[in-house]
Structure 1
Amino acid sequence: MQSRIAIACFLAIGFFATEASPFIRERNPRAFVLAGERIRFDANLTPQFTDKQINESAEATRAGLAKWASTEHGRRFIARFNRDEYEVLITENWMEEGIGRAPQPGLATLVAAGDHSKIKAYDLILNPTFNIPRSVVNVYPLRQPATPADQMAAAWAGEMLHIYFYSNGISLPHHQRADFQQEWHLMAAELGLPNMPHADDDE
């Protein structure tokens, strides 16, 4: 009888040791990190947000990511950076003067671009409250986002394009590069904003 109880206890301990506890948070989340947790994506690369991410981030930020993730470039970029060798730390800053910004990382990160054994960390700063005047008719629908979600989708696209260039070891400035502008216009067109600029004055 005692041996059966011992075996049962051993099996129970083994079960709880191998099952992930819902009370344990990721200590070092990688890839896309929002509200301190990694953003998970399904097989179609659609973001699946946790309760904490939903409670501690703006709806426009999440809706913007979902919209960008539905585009060809969005899926391609997400597939590239959704790996443990990268960390894209998303921060919402209501004091940011534009819709988003991706500061240049340190020289060591740029130099390590081709080293898959090194973790490359990047900051992505978004302002989901950047004002879209509600009383003004959008007379440039192919140039200006119409909703906060549209605006955040453009911010995700534009700033992740900067991070893509960083991940290839290319430092600022980017806006003057023909290849940057070519990629941006393709990405903007996928979002329904083919005439939206992305230059120094638009950050």
Structure 2
Amino acid sequence: MNQSRTTTHRITTRAGRTPVRTVLVALAAASTLLLSACSGSSSPSAGSAAAPAGGAQVVPVTSNPISNTATATTLTADNVMVENNTDASGATVNDHLQLDVHNTGTTPLSGFEVFYTFADPTSSSKESYYLKLPATFTVPAGGTQTVNFDNTGAPDHFAVNKFSLYYTSKSALDVTVEVSATGAAPVTATAKKDPGGSENAGG
């Protein structure tokens, strides 16, 4: 290190040139500023929160936004699960809201909306949530699709509020789900969740 400092001092300044020491200091300062700028652009600002899997923040709603007046009975919903869930292969997965939607008509269904409510009879608490599914979610004529609300980000898996009654209440819950699709009458399905809160697979 001493030899390096000696070498720097021996470099002389010629007319019209900037001293090497000054250049080195300026380059170091510029590098520091560049690193700071890069770090700031890639990190979220204070107080910001990452969106949950599924691409949207999920908060309770005070009313049901679904206003579908169609009368065609081509949409059904059943197999509502809120615990002891399994995936398509039959493997056990974390507890979450899951249901099957069927299209009994002759044309595909799209424009899906889901409104669901968790009610805790013990404390008289109730929370409702609404989600408009992406346009890419369709059910072919005569087909069935499974809808999952679990924040995994997998296809046909949608965002949830991890602080909802479903995850925080240890009481038994009454669950009501309304599903709507363009051109089909909305349908409602229900389920009951046992006391104890949600459970992880294998837990």
Provide TM-score, normalisation by structure 1: 0.32
* Larger relative helix fraction: 1
Greater relative contact order, per chain length (Cα 8 Å cut-off, separation 6+) = 2
TM-score by length of 2: 0.32
Larger Rg: 1 or 2?
2
